[in-house]
Amino acid sequence: MPTAWSPSQYERFRSERLEPVHDLVALVEPGVRRALDLGCGTGEPTELLLAHLGDAAEIDAVDSSPEMLARAAPRASARLRFRQGEIASLESFAGFDLVFSNAALHWVPDHRALFRRLLGTLAPGAQLALQMPNNQHHPAHVAASEVARQEPFAGWLGGFVQRSAVEPLERYAGWLWEARVARLRLLERVYCHTLARAADVVEWLKGSLLVPYLERLDAAQARAFLDAYAARLRKVIGEDAPYLYTFRRMFVWARAAG
Ligand X SMILES: C[S@@+](CC[C@H](N)C(=O)[O-])C[C@H]1O[C@@H](n2cnc3c(N)ncnc32)[C@H](O)[C@@H]1O
Residues that bind ligand X (CB under 6 A): 5, 21, 39-42, 45, 63-65, 68, 86-88, 102-104, 107-108, 208
CA distance 208 to 47: 21
Is 111 strand, coil or helix?
Answer: helix
Phi–psi pair at 162, nearest 5 degrees: -75, 125
CB 127 within 8 A of CB 220: no
Give min distance, CB of 103 to ligand X, in A: 4
Q: Which residue is nearest to ligand X (CB)?
A: 41
Give min distance, CB of 182 to ligand X, in A: 26
Residue placing its CB nearer to ligand X in the complex, 89 or 235: 89
Residue 63's beta-bridge partner residues? 84
Give min distance, CB of 243 to ligand X, in A: 21
Residue placing its CB nearer to ligand X in the complex, 26 or 257: 26
Give min distance, CB of 131 to ligand X, in A: 8
Residue placing its CB nearer to ligand X in the complex, 40 or 126: 40
Residue placing its CB nearer to ligand X in the complex, 84 or 194: 84
CA distance 46 to 21: 9
Give min distance, CB of 150 to ligand X, in A: 26
Residue placing its CB nearer to ligand X in the complex, 81 or 183: 81
How does 93-107 read in b/e, with b if 16+ C-beta sit within 10 Å? beebbbbbbbbbbbb
Burial class (CB in 10 A: 0-12, 13-18, 19+), 68: buried
